[in-house]
Structure 1
Amino acid sequence: MRVLGVDPGLTRCGIGVVEGVAGRPLTMIGVGVVRTPADAELSRRLLAIEQGIEAWLDEHRPGFVAVERVFSQHNVRTVMGTAQASAVAMLCAARRGIPVALHTPSEVKAAVTGSGRADKDQVGAMITRLLRLAEPPRPADAADALALAICHIWRAPAQNRLQQAVALHTAHARKGRTA
Protein backbone atom coordinates (compact mmCIF):
# COMPACT_ATOMS: atom_id res chain seq x y z
CA MET A 1 0.00 0.00 0.00
CA ARG A 2 1.36 3.42 -0.96
CA VAL A 3 -0.03 6.37 1.03
CA LEU A 4 0.50 10.09 0.58
CA GLY A 5 0.20 11.82 3.94
CA VAL A 6 -0.74 15.51 4.06
CA ASP A 7 -0.21 17.71 7.12
CA PRO A 8 -2.24 20.70 5.90
CA GLY A 9 -1.17 24.27 6.42
CA LEU A 10 -1.14 27.48 4.43
CA THR A 11 2.48 28.43 5.05
CA ARG A 12 3.91 24.90 5.22
CA CYS A 13 1.93 21.93 3.97
CA GLY A 14 3.81 18.75 4.87
CA ILE A 15 3.79 15.94 2.30
CA GLY A 16 5.12 12.42 2.81
CA VAL A 17 4.81 9.17 0.90
CA VAL A 18 5.21 5.83 2.66
CA GLU A 19 4.86 2.34 1.23
CA GLY A 20 4.23 -0.89 3.09
CA VAL A 21 1.71 -3.02 4.91
CA ALA A 22 0.88 -3.42 8.57
CA GLY A 23 3.25 -5.74 10.38
CA ARG A 24 6.12 -5.31 7.91
CA PRO A 25 8.92 -2.76 7.64
CA LEU A 26 7.80 0.46 5.96
CA THR A 27 9.65 2.47 3.32
CA MET A 28 9.73 6.22 2.91
CA ILE A 29 9.29 7.04 -0.77
CA GLY A 30 9.49 10.82 -0.44
CA VAL A 31 9.03 13.70 1.96
CA GLY A 32 8.79 17.45 1.58
CA VAL A 33 6.87 20.63 2.20
CA VAL A 34 4.79 22.82 -0.08
CA ARG A 35 5.50 26.39 1.03
CA THR A 36 3.55 29.56 0.35
CA PRO A 37 4.43 33.13 1.30
CA ALA A 38 2.42 34.44 4.23
CA ASP A 39 1.89 37.77 2.50
CA ALA A 40 0.44 36.27 -0.71
CA GLU A 41 -3.24 36.45 -1.54
CA LEU A 42 -5.19 33.49 -0.13
CA SER A 43 -6.38 32.27 -3.52
CA ARG A 44 -2.78 32.23 -4.82
CA ARG A 45 -1.63 30.30 -1.75
CA LEU A 46 -4.35 27.68 -2.20
CA LEU A 47 -3.47 27.38 -5.90
CA ALA A 48 0.20 26.83 -5.00
CA ILE A 49 -0.78 24.11 -2.52
CA GLU A 50 -2.98 22.47 -5.16
CA GLN A 51 -0.15 22.53 -7.70
CA GLY A 52 2.29 21.11 -5.16
CA ILE A 53 -0.01 18.27 -4.15
CA GLU A 54 -0.83 17.50 -7.79
CA ALA A 55 2.89 17.23 -8.53
CA TRP A 56 3.34 14.76 -5.65
CA LEU A 57 0.35 12.73 -6.84
CA ASP A 58 1.73 12.66 -10.39
CA GLU A 59 5.19 11.60 -9.27
CA HIS A 60 4.32 9.03 -6.59
CA ARG A 61 0.91 7.62 -7.63
CA PRO A 62 -0.40 6.74 -4.15
CA GLY A 63 -3.33 4.40 -3.66
CA PHE A 64 -4.58 6.41 -0.67
CA VAL A 65 -4.30 9.94 0.71
CA ALA A 66 -4.28 10.45 4.48
CA VAL A 67 -5.03 13.98 5.67
CA GLU A 68 -4.91 15.37 9.18
CA ARG A 69 -8.44 16.00 10.40
CA VAL A 70 -8.81 19.66 11.28
CA PHE A 71 -9.61 20.16 14.93
CA SER A 72 -10.67 23.24 16.84
CA GLN A 73 -7.81 25.44 17.85
CA HIS A 74 -7.80 28.63 19.83
CA ASN A 75 -6.75 30.70 16.81
CA VAL A 76 -9.70 30.71 14.36
CA ARG A 77 -7.55 32.22 11.61
CA THR A 78 -5.07 29.34 11.85
CA VAL A 79 -7.77 26.67 11.85
CA MET A 80 -9.43 28.26 8.80
CA GLY A 81 -6.18 28.15 6.82
CA THR A 82 -5.58 24.57 7.87
CA ALA A 83 -9.12 23.60 6.87
CA GLN A 84 -8.73 25.29 3.48
CA ALA A 85 -5.43 23.49 2.79
CA SER A 86 -7.03 20.23 3.93
CA ALA A 87 -9.92 20.73 1.51
CA VAL A 88 -7.47 21.31 -1.35
CA ALA A 89 -5.73 18.00 -0.56
CA MET A 90 -9.05 16.14 -0.46
CA LEU A 91 -10.15 17.76 -3.73
CA CYS A 92 -6.91 16.76 -5.48
CA ALA A 93 -7.37 13.15 -4.37
CA ALA A 94 -11.09 13.07 -5.22
CA ARG A 95 -10.40 14.45 -8.70
CA ARG A 96 -8.25 11.34 -9.33
CA GLY A 97 -10.57 8.89 -7.57
CA ILE A 98 -8.05 8.26 -4.79
CA PRO A 99 -9.67 7.34 -1.44
CA VAL A 100 -9.09 9.87 1.35
CA ALA A 101 -8.84 9.06 5.05
CA LEU A 102 -8.92 11.67 7.80
CA HIS A 103 -6.98 11.05 11.01
CA THR A 104 -6.95 13.23 14.12
CA PRO A 105 -3.62 14.46 15.48
CA SER A 106 -4.02 12.37 18.66
CA GLU A 107 -4.92 9.27 16.62
CA VAL A 108 -1.75 9.72 14.53
CA LYS A 109 0.44 10.31 17.60
CA ALA A 110 -1.01 7.25 19.34
CA ALA A 111 -0.47 5.07 16.27
CA VAL A 112 3.14 6.14 15.82
CA THR A 113 4.36 6.66 19.40
CA GLY A 114 1.85 4.83 21.58
CA SER A 115 0.69 8.09 23.16
CA GLY A 116 -1.92 10.48 21.80
CA ARG A 117 -0.20 13.27 23.72
CA ALA A 118 3.27 12.82 22.22
CA ASP A 119 5.15 15.99 21.32
CA LYS A 120 6.74 16.86 17.95
CA ASP A 121 10.16 15.55 19.02
CA GLN A 122 8.73 12.16 20.03
CA VAL A 123 6.86 11.86 16.72
CA GLY A 124 10.02 12.80 14.79
CA ALA A 125 12.10 10.28 16.73
CA MET A 126 9.62 7.44 16.06
CA ILE A 127 9.32 8.34 12.37
CA THR A 128 13.12 8.21 12.14
CA ARG A 129 13.18 4.80 13.79
CA LEU A 130 10.20 3.29 11.93
CA LEU A 131 11.47 4.38 8.51
CA ARG A 132 15.12 3.70 9.34
CA LEU A 133 16.21 7.26 8.55
CA ALA A 134 19.52 8.87 9.52
CA GLU A 135 17.75 11.85 11.11
CA PRO A 136 14.23 13.16 11.70
CA PRO A 137 12.64 14.85 8.68
CA ARG A 138 12.56 18.64 8.95
CA PRO A 139 10.50 20.69 9.35
CA ALA A 140 8.09 18.97 11.74
CA ASP A 141 5.31 19.32 9.14
CA ALA A 142 7.19 16.84 6.93
CA ALA A 143 7.55 14.35 9.79
CA ASP A 144 3.85 14.77 10.60
CA ALA A 145 2.92 13.96 6.99
CA LEU A 146 4.93 10.73 7.19
CA ALA A 147 3.24 9.92 10.51
CA LEU A 148 -0.17 10.36 8.84
CA ALA A 149 0.79 7.93 6.07
CA ILE A 150 2.09 5.38 8.60
CA CYS A 151 -1.05 5.75 10.73
CA HIS A 152 -3.19 5.02 7.70
CA ILE A 153 -1.17 1.97 6.66
CA TRP A 154 -1.45 0.54 10.15
CA ARG A 155 -5.11 1.40 10.74
CA ALA A 156 -6.62 0.81 7.28
CA PRO A 157 -7.02 -2.99 7.63
CA ALA A 158 -8.96 -2.63 10.90
CA GLN A 159 -11.03 0.26 9.55
CA ASN A 160 -11.89 -1.74 6.42
CA ARG A 161 -13.03 -4.72 8.51
CA LEU A 162 -15.16 -2.41 10.66
CA GLN A 163 -16.76 -0.79 7.59
CA GLN A 164 -17.50 -4.23 6.11
CA ALA A 165 -19.08 -5.36 9.37
CA VAL A 166 -21.26 -2.25 9.53
CA ALA A 167 -22.31 -2.71 5.90
CA LEU A 168 -23.17 -6.36 6.52
CA HIS A 169 -25.15 -5.47 9.65
CA THR A 170 -27.02 -2.74 7.75
CA ALA A 171 -27.82 -5.14 4.89
CA HIS A 172 -29.15 -7.74 7.35
CA ALA A 173 -31.20 -5.12 9.17
CA ARG A 174 -32.75 -3.96 5.88
CA LYS A 175 -33.59 -7.54 4.91
CA GLY A 176 -35.34 -8.00 8.25
CA ARG A 177 -37.46 -4.88 7.67
CA THR A 178 -38.49 -5.77 4.13
CA ALA A 179 -39.27 -9.42 4.81
Structure 2
Amino acid sequence: MRVMGVDPGLTRCGVGVVEGVAGRPLTMLGVGVVRTPADADLSLRLLAVEQGLEQWLDEHRPEFVAVERVFSQHNVSTVMGTAQASAVAMLCAARRGIPVALHTPSEVKAAVTGTGRADKAQVGAMVTRLLRLSAPPKPADAADALALAICHIWRAPAQNRLQRAVALHTAHATKGRTA
Protein backbone atom coordinates (compact mmCIF):
# COMPACT_ATOMS: atom_id res chain seq x y z
CA MET A 1 0.00 0.00 0.00
CA ARG A 2 1.36 3.41 -0.97
CA VAL A 3 0.01 6.34 1.04
CA MET A 4 0.65 10.06 0.69
CA GLY A 5 0.21 11.83 4.01
CA VAL A 6 -0.67 15.52 4.00
CA ASP A 7 -0.26 17.77 7.02
CA PRO A 8 -2.27 20.73 5.70
CA GLY A 9 -1.11 24.29 6.08
CA LEU A 10 -0.92 27.43 3.99
CA THR A 11 2.64 28.47 4.86
CA ARG A 12 4.01 24.91 5.07
CA CYS A 13 1.98 21.95 3.84
CA GLY A 14 3.79 18.78 4.90
CA VAL A 15 3.85 15.90 2.43
CA GLY A 16 5.20 12.40 2.94
CA VAL A 17 4.87 9.17 0.99
CA VAL A 18 5.21 5.80 2.69
CA GLU A 19 4.88 2.31 1.25
CA GLY A 20 4.25 -0.93 3.09
CA VAL A 21 1.71 -3.04 4.91
CA ALA A 22 0.76 -3.36 8.57
CA GLY A 23 3.11 -5.62 10.49
CA ARG A 24 6.02 -5.26 8.05
CA PRO A 25 8.82 -2.69 7.79
CA LEU A 26 7.72 0.49 6.03
CA THR A 27 9.63 2.47 3.42
CA MET A 28 9.68 6.24 3.00
CA LEU A 29 9.50 7.17 -0.68
CA GLY A 30 9.55 10.94 -0.26
CA VAL A 31 9.11 13.75 2.24
CA GLY A 32 8.98 17.52 2.04
CA VAL A 33 6.83 20.60 2.29
CA VAL A 34 4.91 22.77 -0.14
CA ARG A 35 5.62 26.36 0.91
CA THR A 36 3.75 29.57 0.15
CA PRO A 37 4.67 33.14 1.10
CA ALA A 38 2.58 34.47 3.99
CA ASP A 39 2.18 37.85 2.28
CA ALA A 40 0.78 36.45 -0.99
CA ASP A 41 -2.89 36.63 -1.93
CA LEU A 42 -4.90 33.72 -0.46
CA SER A 43 -6.09 32.51 -3.86
CA LEU A 44 -2.49 32.37 -5.13
CA ARG A 45 -1.38 30.51 -2.01
CA LEU A 46 -4.10 27.91 -2.49
CA LEU A 47 -3.12 27.57 -6.14
CA ALA A 48 0.52 27.03 -5.11
CA VAL A 49 -0.53 24.32 -2.61
CA GLU A 50 -2.60 22.65 -5.34
CA GLN A 51 0.27 22.74 -7.84
CA GLY A 52 2.72 21.39 -5.28
CA LEU A 53 0.42 18.53 -4.26
CA GLU A 54 -0.26 17.68 -7.91
CA GLN A 55 3.51 17.33 -8.45
CA TRP A 56 3.73 14.94 -5.50
CA LEU A 57 0.78 12.92 -6.82
CA ASP A 58 2.34 12.78 -10.31
CA GLU A 59 5.70 11.67 -8.97
CA HIS A 60 4.60 9.11 -6.37
CA ARG A 61 1.21 7.82 -7.59
CA PRO A 62 -0.21 6.91 -4.15
CA GLU A 63 -3.12 4.51 -3.71
CA PHE A 64 -4.48 6.53 -0.78
CA VAL A 65 -4.16 10.05 0.55
CA ALA A 66 -4.29 10.54 4.33
CA VAL A 67 -5.04 14.09 5.47
CA GLU A 68 -4.98 15.44 9.00
CA ARG A 69 -8.53 16.17 10.11
CA VAL A 70 -8.80 19.86 10.94
CA PHE A 71 -9.81 20.59 14.50
CA SER A 72 -10.82 23.86 16.11
CA GLN A 73 -8.01 25.90 17.55
CA HIS A 74 -8.06 29.19 19.40
CA ASN A 75 -6.76 31.09 16.39
CA VAL A 76 -9.62 31.09 13.86
CA SER A 77 -7.50 32.49 11.01
CA THR A 78 -5.00 29.64 11.45
CA VAL A 79 -7.69 26.97 11.44
CA MET A 80 -9.29 28.53 8.35
CA GLY A 81 -6.02 28.36 6.39
CA THR A 82 -5.47 24.78 7.53
CA ALA A 83 -9.01 23.83 6.50
CA GLN A 84 -8.56 25.46 3.09
CA ALA A 85 -5.27 23.62 2.48
CA SER A 86 -6.95 20.40 3.64
CA ALA A 87 -9.75 20.91 1.12
CA VAL A 88 -7.20 21.45 -1.66
CA ALA A 89 -5.51 18.13 -0.75
CA MET A 90 -8.85 16.29 -0.79
CA LEU A 91 -9.79 17.90 -4.11
CA CYS A 92 -6.48 16.89 -5.74
CA ALA A 93 -6.98 13.28 -4.62
CA ALA A 94 -10.66 13.18 -5.61
CA ARG A 95 -9.87 14.55 -9.07
CA ARG A 96 -7.68 11.46 -9.60
CA GLY A 97 -10.09 9.01 -7.99
CA ILE A 98 -7.74 8.39 -5.05
CA PRO A 99 -9.52 7.54 -1.78
CA VAL A 100 -8.99 10.06 1.02
CA ALA A 101 -8.85 9.21 4.72
CA LEU A 102 -9.01 11.80 7.47
CA HIS A 103 -7.19 11.13 10.74
CA THR A 104 -7.25 13.30 13.85
CA PRO A 105 -3.97 14.47 15.35
CA SER A 106 -4.55 12.28 18.43
CA GLU A 107 -5.22 9.19 16.24
CA VAL A 108 -1.97 9.78 14.40
CA LYS A 109 0.02 10.35 17.59
CA ALA A 110 -1.48 7.24 19.22
CA ALA A 111 -0.76 5.09 16.16
CA VAL A 112 2.85 6.20 15.86
CA THR A 113 3.89 6.71 19.51
CA GLY A 114 1.35 4.78 21.56
CA THR A 115 -0.14 7.90 23.15
CA GLY A 116 -2.50 10.49 21.71
CA ARG A 117 -0.80 13.20 23.76
CA ALA A 118 2.69 12.86 22.27
CA ASP A 119 4.54 16.05 21.39
CA LYS A 120 6.11 16.89 18.03
CA ALA A 121 9.55 15.69 19.13
CA GLN A 122 8.16 12.27 20.12
CA VAL A 123 6.32 11.92 16.81
CA GLY A 124 9.47 12.90 14.89
CA ALA A 125 11.59 10.42 16.87
CA MET A 126 9.17 7.54 16.26
CA VAL A 127 8.81 8.36 12.54
CA THR A 128 12.61 8.30 12.35
CA ARG A 129 12.75 4.88 14.03
CA LEU A 130 9.83 3.34 12.15
CA LEU A 131 11.17 4.39 8.76
CA ARG A 132 14.80 3.69 9.71
CA LEU A 133 15.91 7.24 8.89
CA SER A 134 19.20 8.78 9.99
CA ALA A 135 17.52 11.91 11.41
CA PRO A 136 13.99 13.23 11.99
CA PRO A 137 12.52 14.93 8.91
CA LYS A 138 12.51 18.73 9.11
CA PRO A 139 10.39 20.77 9.50
CA ALA A 140 7.93 19.04 11.85
CA ASP A 141 5.19 19.37 9.19
CA ALA A 142 7.13 16.89 7.04
CA ALA A 143 7.46 14.41 9.91
CA ASP A 144 3.74 14.82 10.67
CA ALA A 145 2.89 14.01 7.04
CA LEU A 146 4.90 10.78 7.27
CA ALA A 147 3.15 9.96 10.57
CA LEU A 148 -0.22 10.40 8.82
CA ALA A 149 0.80 7.95 6.10
CA ILE A 150 2.07 5.42 8.68
CA CYS A 151 -1.15 5.80 10.70
CA HIS A 152 -3.24 5.07 7.63
CA ILE A 153 -1.24 2.01 6.63
CA TRP A 154 -1.61 0.59 10.12
CA ARG A 155 -5.27 1.53 10.64
CA ALA A 156 -6.69 0.85 7.16
CA PRO A 157 -6.97 -2.97 7.46
CA ALA A 158 -8.96 -2.72 10.71
CA GLN A 159 -11.11 0.11 9.34
CA ASN A 160 -11.87 -1.90 6.19
CA ARG A 161 -12.89 -4.97 8.24
CA LEU A 162 -15.14 -2.79 10.40
CA GLN A 163 -16.77 -1.16 7.35
CA ARG A 164 -17.41 -4.60 5.78
CA ALA A 165 -18.94 -5.88 9.03
CA VAL A 166 -21.23 -2.85 9.32
CA ALA A 167 -22.28 -3.21 5.67
CA LEU A 168 -22.97 -6.93 6.14
CA HIS A 169 -24.98 -6.27 9.30
CA THR A 170 -26.96 -3.51 7.57
CA ALA A 171 -27.67 -5.77 4.58
CA HIS A 172 -28.93 -8.56 6.87
CA ALA A 173 -31.03 -6.16 8.91
CA THR A 174 -32.58 -4.68 5.76
CA LYS A 175 -33.20 -8.14 4.29
CA GLY A 176 -34.96 -9.20 7.51
CA ARG A 177 -37.34 -6.22 7.36
CA THR A 178 -38.28 -6.75 3.72
CA ALA A 179 -38.91 -10.50 4.04
Output the TM-score relative to the length of structure 2: 1.00
1:130 counterpart residue number:
130
1:107 counterpart residue number:
107
Counterparts of 1:169 and 1:44, CA distance in 2: 47
Counterparts of 1:88 and 1:160, CA distance in 2: 25
User: In the TM superposition, what whole-angstrom CA distance separates every residue of 1:78-118 from its partner, at most 9, and x where no partner exists?
Assistant: 00000000000000000000000000000000000001000
Counterparts of 1:159 and 1:12, CA distance in 2: 29
Q: CA deviation at 1:177?
A: 1.2
Q: Are 2:148 and 1:174 equivalent residues in the alignment?
A: no
Size of the aligned set, in residue pairs, is: 179
One-letter amino acid of the counterpart of residue 131, structure 2: L
2:32 counterpart residue number:
32
Counterparts of 2:172 and 2:132, CA distance in 1: 46
Q: CA deviation at 1:67?
A: 0.1
Q: CA deviation at 1:176?
A: 1.0
Runs of 5+ unmatched residues, structure 2: none
1:58 counterpart residue number:
58
Q: Are 2:146 and 1:146 equivalent residues in the alignment?
A: yes
Counterparts of 2:127 and 2:148, CA distance in 1: 10
User: In the TM superposition, what whole-angstrom CA distance separates every residue of 1:9-66 from its partner, at most 9, and x where no partner exists?
Assistant: 0000000000000000000000000000000000000000000000000000000000
One-letter amino acid of the counterpart of residue 94, structure 1: A
SS at match of 1:29: strand
Counterparts of 2:144 and 2:132, CA distance in 1: 16
Runs of 5+ unmatched residues, structure 1: none
One-letter amino acid of the counterpart of residue 48, structure 2: A
- Alpha-carbon RMSD across the aligned residues, in angstroms, is 0.3
